[in-house]
């Protein structure tokens, strides 16, 4: 478990085309809760097992994609130290004042070479619903929909992921839990800042700044099956699954929100320790790495991004 530095993913802001349809999807189907709507129309959501103010931000736009992903750091002093290290690495930094999003303290933002904006912050207010902390039952509000427990990670597509790997390891203190190598070089990386198999991942892609998926944790393989039932019952556009990954060992299903942003719900996966060696896959087993049971790739899974 991380005790200093980067603790974990914070929140992600995505663009949606139709806010009412997006809210129905993320609240009724995935099982999130609406925290509030801001004066600018952005809607703030969270899962029932999360303490902090929000983990998902929806913004209406004319094109689906991701605006940025944030990570929470342990302290204001860590935030200042990371800013110095980011600037020393050669990336320009900007500052987002406290309160730009409700319940969130000041943020430090920067754009990595793959074209993705990343932000760091140290403070978040708590909001309801949140887990009990005194004689705690397993949930404070009855789960609904797919019963998402938390926003867990995101996978991004973009160029120059070799530099992303170098930056996240040297500057932010992440470790590379798994990677895929090909004769043409590094194809994909799964990076962890704690004890999860990954908190953020990147796949090499010619276009910068692309979102492959945002992922929500479920409790069990049975819950992944329940999510598949919901996907079928409400005719949600499905990509692949239910199945299992070789990489991370997660049990998974992929599908799309009404705007075309890919979602994942997953369960399981191994525990990662910082002293573990990096698990490496090569091109001969890449199908098994991505979809362990099918042992072959899905063309839409590789090519469809927002």
Which structural domains are found in the chain, ordered by start? 6-121 (3.10.180.10), 150-303 (3.10.180.10)
pLDDT in tens, 222-264: 999 999 999 999 999 999 989 888 889 889 999 999 999 999 9
> In whole angstroms, what is the distance from residue 73 CA to residue 85 CA?
14
pLDDT at 295: 84
The pLDDT of 13-25, averaged and rounded, is: 97
User: Is a pLDDT exceeding 80 seen at residue 83?
Assistant: yes
Give me the pLDDT at residue 19, please: 97
Active-site annotation, residues:
153, 198, 213, 245, 254, 264
DSSP 52: B
pLDDT on residue 1: 45
pLDDT of residue 288: 86
Of the candidate ranges 48-57, 75-84, 186-195, 281-290, the one whose mean pLDDT is the lowest: 281-290
Which of 85-89, 120-124, 136-140, 256-260 is predicted with the least confidence, judged by mean pLDDT?
A: 136-140
Q: What is the pLDDT of residue 294?
A: 80
Query: What's the CA gap between 197 and 178, in Å, rounded?
Result: 8
pLDDT > 90 in the chain, percent: 84
Structure tokens of 151? 């926003």
Q: Would you state the pLDDT for residue 135?
A: 92
Show the DSSP H helices in the chain as ranges.
19-23, 76-89, 161-170, 221-233, 286-290, 299-303
2-16, 213-227, 246-260: which has the minimum mean pLDDT?
2-16
* φ and ψ of 293, to 5 deg: -80, -45
Q: Can you tell me the mean pLDDT for 149-175?
A: 96
Average pLDDT over residues 289-295: 83
pLDDT higher than 80, residue 4: no
Average pLDDT over residues 127-150: 93
Exposure string for 152-186, b = 16+ CB within 10 A, e = fewer: bbbbbbbbbbeebbebbeebbebbbbbbbeeeeeb
Bigger pLDDT: 159 vs 243: 159
**More confident: 247 or 215:** 215
Query: What average pLDDT does the structure give for the chain?
Result: 93
Cα Rg, the chain, nearest whole Å: 18
Average pLDDT of the residues in 202-224: 95
Q: What is the pTM of this model?
A: 0.95
pLDDT for residue 132 is more than 70: yes
Element (H, E) at 69: strand 65-73
pLDDT-derived band at 153 (thresholds 50, 70, 90) equals very high
């Amino acid at each position: 478990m991380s005790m200093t530095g980067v603790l974990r993913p914070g929140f992600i802001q995505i663009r949606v085309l139709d806010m009412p349809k997006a809210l129905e999807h993320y609240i009724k189907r995935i099982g999130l809760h609406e925290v509030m709507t801001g004066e600018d129309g952005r809607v703030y959501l969270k899962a029932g097992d999360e303490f902090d103010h929000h983990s998902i931000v929806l913004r209406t736009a004319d094109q689906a994609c991701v605006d940025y992903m944030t990570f929470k750091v342990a302290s204001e002093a860590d935030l200042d130290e990371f800013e110095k290290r980011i600037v020393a690495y050669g990336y320009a930094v900007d500052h987002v004042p406290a309160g730009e999003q409700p319940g969130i303290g000041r943020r430090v933002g920067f754009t990595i070479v793959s074209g993705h904006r990343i932000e760091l912050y140290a403070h978040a207010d708590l909001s309801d619903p949140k887990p009990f902390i005194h004689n705690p039952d397993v949930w404070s509000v009855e789960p609904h929909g797919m019963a998402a427990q938390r926003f867990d990670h995101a996978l991004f597509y973009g160029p120059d992921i070799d530099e992303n790997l170098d930056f996240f390891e040297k500057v932010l203190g992440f470790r590379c839990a798994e990677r895929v190598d090909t004769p043409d070089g590094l194809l994909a990386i799964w990076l962890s800042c704690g004890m999860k198999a990954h908190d953020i991942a990147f796949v090499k892609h010619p276009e910068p700044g692309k979102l492959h998926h945002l992922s929500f944790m479920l409790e069990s393989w049975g819950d992944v099956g329940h999510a598949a039932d919901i996907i079928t019952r409400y005719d949600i556009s499905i990509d692949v699954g239910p199945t299992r990954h070789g990489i991370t060992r997660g049990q998974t299903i992929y599908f799309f929100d009404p705007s075309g942003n890919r979602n994942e719900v997953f369960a399981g996966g191994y525990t990662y320790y910082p002293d573990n060696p990096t698990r490496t896959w090569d091109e001969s087993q890449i199908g098994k790495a991505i979809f362990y049971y099918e042992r072959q790739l899905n063309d839409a899974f590789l090519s469809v991004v927002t």
